[in-house]
Amino acid sequence: MTPARPLIIGHRGAPGYRPEHTRSSYELAFALGADAVEPDIVATKDGVLVLRHENEISGTTDVAIRPEFDGLRTTKTVDGVELTGWFTEDFTWQQLSTLRASERIPDLRRSSASFDGTNGILRLLDLLEIIDAASDQTGRALGLVAEIKHATYFEQIGLPLDELLAAELAGTAFGDGNDLIVEAFEQTILQKLFARGQAASYVYLLEKKGMPFDQVALHGTAAPRYADSLTDAGLDALAAATDGFRLDGISVDKAVLLADGASSDLVARAHRRGLAVYTWTLRPENAFLSRPFRLHGKKSEYGNWQEEFQRIIATGVDGVFCDHPDLGVAARDTFGE
Q: Quick check: 237 and 229 in contact, CB under 8 A? A: yes
pLDDT per residue as tens digits for the range 115-164: 999 999 999 999 999 999 999 999 999 999 999 999 999 999 999 999 99
Count of beta carbons in the 10 Å neighbourhood of residue 41: 25
Domain 7-43+122-333 is classified in which CATH homologous superfamily? Answer: Phosphatidylinositol (PI) phosphodiesterase (3.20.20.190)
**What is the rounded CA–CA span in Å between residue 87 and residue 24?**
23
Mean pLDDT over all residues of the chain?
96
Other C-beta atoms closer than 10 Å to the C-beta of 179 total: 20
60 pLDDT higher than 80: yes
Quote the pTM value.
0.96
3-class secondary structure, 77 = strand
Position 3 scores a pLDDT of 60
CA–CA gap between residue 311 and residue 86 (Å, rounded)? 40
In this predicted structure, the answer to whether residue 1 has a pLDDT above a threshold of 90 is no
pLDDT of residue 109: 97
Q: Are 88 and 57 in contact (CB under 8 A)?
A: yes
Which pLDDT score is estimated for 263?
77
- Separation in Å, CA 256 to CA 31, 99, 227: 30, 37, 10
Q: What are phi and psi of 95, to 5 degrees?
A: -70, -50
Residue 329 reports pLDDT greater than 60: yes
